[in-house]
Structure 1
Amino acid sequence: MTVAMLKLNTRAVLRLSGSEARPFLQGLVTNDVMKASEDHAVYAGLLTPQGKFLFDMIVVATGDDLLLDVEAPRKPDLIRRLMMYKLRADVTITDEIDLSVWVSFEQPSGTGTSYQDPRHESLGWRLMTDTAPEDTSLSLDAYEERRLSLGVPDSSRDMEVEKYFWLETDAERLHGVSFTKGCFVGQELTARMKHRTALKKKLVAVKADGGSLSSGQKLETADGKNAGEIRTTDGTHGIAYLRLEFSDTSLNADGAPVQLA
């Protein structure tokens, strides 16, 4: 039986190979990439030293190598950043231009590297392959509706680069951080936010209660206070960067009621 799949044109694949590939990445990103295997993917972020979002990635192993499912438009910037940290480490960074990332709501059977989305099990499966699957009928609208309703951000479309702290992206709920793995870039401030301070803002899933949402739209309280803004949306479901002091308050976008999903 074939599985309906969708090609994610906004994603690309990098390969890290060499004897120090895994410890190299382990010392940089927010999650424990030592746990990545051929059937278990790990979601992680690469942050600024101040703990703010730079890049996110899904990491899966193939043999001794690591494959990184990354944001395609910002891939050159990520390669430059990794090269800056590499120094003399035995790591080769390869741009796998022949591999594409596909998604499905069921486990795919095509050739390539398949892995369940580690951020949320209901977001389905992903496949890195150089061969188009037989059934490409999964629509982008269907995938986006599910992603948004689950509150899963889509890289820099939802997370502002060098502005949002990693925990503000809801990374802890999405299995994107380990507080036991040891050091990573931005670890000190991320741990401090976890254990010593309360988050004031965070990405949350929202839903229009009538009306239609649009990207960049402001969220307001009933008395006109600025509560946040819509990041990505399909018109009904959306992801918003919300001031959490207003999470129990009636919200609206241009007068239309908005609910936290």
Structure 2
Amino acid sequence: MTQEWTQYLSKAGAQFENNTVIHFGQLDEERQQALHGDVITDLSHFGLIKVTGSDAKTFLQGQFTNDVRQVTAKLSQLSALCSPKGRILFSFRLFKRDDAYYLLLPRESVESMLKRLRMYVLRADAKLEEVSESLSRIGVAGANSTQRLTDCLGFAPPIDVDASLTENQVTVLRILGTQPRYLVFGETLQNLWECVTQTAHPAGAAVWQLLDILAGVPQIVPATAEEFVPQMVNYQVIGGVSFKKGCYTGQEIVARMQYLGKLKRRLYLAKIDTATVPQPGAALYVATGEQSVGKIVNAAVHPDGGVVVLAVIQISRAEADEIHWQSQQGECLQLIDLPYSLLEYN
């Protein structure tokens, strides 16, 4: 986050904690607006990695779960970097802007991902650098967000999920959501923020996390790195993995799970009646066993009370037993239908 952008948001009422906007003074109202209105969110808690060079596409293609060849100025994608055992180390969104590839991922994961990727560059003409301070990034969501962005940008944002568009040095990505949601990137976004906030409510990072969870989109953080293969977090359903692209790190394990194995765990959306937000990686249990049957992936406070979570749970247990957080006698998870089809599991 640049100093100029920080100062601008501070004047707009932003409250910061560890360089993250936690709220704009009305957290409860921000959460309500996320469900029933339009919100705009600073996304500086996500970092950016830029990849350039004549071998950038080929290099990234050999590392990521998705088909990098499909990423263009008009199409972004969810993707992941796996360990040789096929477990997700980092999840991110990949997009293209000015002939360079950009990875959007949690800020706390940027340094370790750069280190991991640089291990494999070798002689490839591929330059990797953190550019979190170079591009501002905001999220806009809500029923009226498409029209509001059209009015404020002077051009219509992309309509289809994963579509991308860059005009006047501003890049807009449509992403999965229960209502229209957009990621916006630009060197300076103050004018856009001022325009959108005429009708949209500014909100903190936790509100964007809430919208990701309700959309069924998981975010792998350091606490859950190497815990899940892509199919466990529904990546084959939400467009985060390609089974036709060829080799990449961990590909053999991921493909074997898809074609020869039986998926025993998957991602669930659930609500817990608690005032305490579970941490990523927290264990889940059934009342009759001491062994964990799942883990929390992400969690956020829900405006109607309690918290909502994305959790990877043993399918057989989720279908037959009550799932408890923290212990065999802990709070129960109330499973909720995800906003996308899971027919692929049948």
TM-score range, shorter chain: 0.7 to 0.9
Question: 1:206, 1:240 within 8 Å by CA — same for their partners in 2?
Answer: yes
- Counterpart of 1:173 in structure 2 is 237
Instruction: Map 1:182-221 onto structure 2 (within 5 A).
Output: 182-208=246-272, 210-211=273-274, 214-216=277-279, 218-221=283-286
SS at match of 2:298: strand
Partner SS state of residue 103, structure 2: strand
Say whether 1:45 aligns with 2:80.
yes
- Give 5+ residue unaligned stretches, structure 2: 1-37, 154-168, 337-346
Per the alignment, in what secondary structure is the counterpart of residue 114 of structure 2? helix
Tell me which of 291, 316, 324 is aligned to 1:245. 316
- Please state if 1:144 is matched with 2:179: no
List structure 1 runs of 4+ shifted beyond 6 angstroms: none
Give yes or no for the alignment of 1:102 onto 2:173.
no
How far is the alpha carbon of 1:222 from its aligned partner?
5.1
Q: Are residues 221 and 123 of structure 1, via their aligned partners in 2, closer, same or farther at CA, if it must alter by over 3 Å?
A: farther
Q: 1:103 to 1:42 in 2, by over 3 A?
A: same
Do residues 68 (structure 1) and 103 (structure 2) align?
Answer: yes
Report the count of equivalent residues.
256
Letter in 1 for 2:319: D
CA contact (8 A) 1:12 1:100 kept: no
> Deviations along 1:153-178, whole A, 9 cap, x unmatched?
12216x71122222212211221000
Give the match's secondary structure for 1:50.
coil
Normalization by structure 2: what TM-score? 0.67
39, 55, 58: which is aligned to 1:20? 55
Identity across matched positions, percent: 25
Q: Which residue of structure 2 aligns with residue 156 of structure 1? A: 221
Return closer, same or farther for 1:81/1:224 CA change in 2, 3 Å cut-off.
closer
SS in 1 for 2:270: strand
Q: Cα deviation per residue 1:83-134 (whole Å; 9 max; x = unaligned)?
A: 11111111111221221332111344555211112x5574611112232322
CA distance 1:95–1:256, change in 2 (3 Å): closer
CA radius of gyration, larger in: 2
**Contact 2:286–2:293, Cα closer than 8 Å, also in 1:** yes
Cα RMSD (Å): 2.5
Query: Does structure 2 conserve the Cα–Cα contact (< 8 Å) formed by 1:213 and 1:238?
Result: no
Bigger helix share: 2
- Which whole-Å CA distance do the structure 1 matches of 2:283 and 2:322 have between them? 10
CA contact (8 A) 1:250 1:257 kept: no
Provide TM-score, normalisation by structure 1. 0.86
Q: What is the deviation of 1:212? A: 5.2
Q: Are the equivalent residues in 2 in contact too, given 1:13–1:100 (CA < 8 A)?
A: no
| 3-state DSSP of counterpart to 1:131 | coil
SS in 1 for 2:81: strand
1:143-194 deviation digits (Å, cap 9, x = unpaired): 333222222112216x711222222122112210000111111100100001
| 2: CA distance, partners of 1:156 / 1:174 | 18
Deviations 1:205-236 (A, max 9, x none): 1123x555641565443545643243432233
* Distance in 1 (alpha carbons) for counterparts of 2:261 and 2:242: 17
State how far apart, in whole Å, the 2-side matches of 1:148 and 1:165 are: 19
Mapped to 1, the partners of 2:331 and 2:235 lie a distance apart of 29
Cα distance in structure 1, aligned partners of 2:178 and 2:246: 26
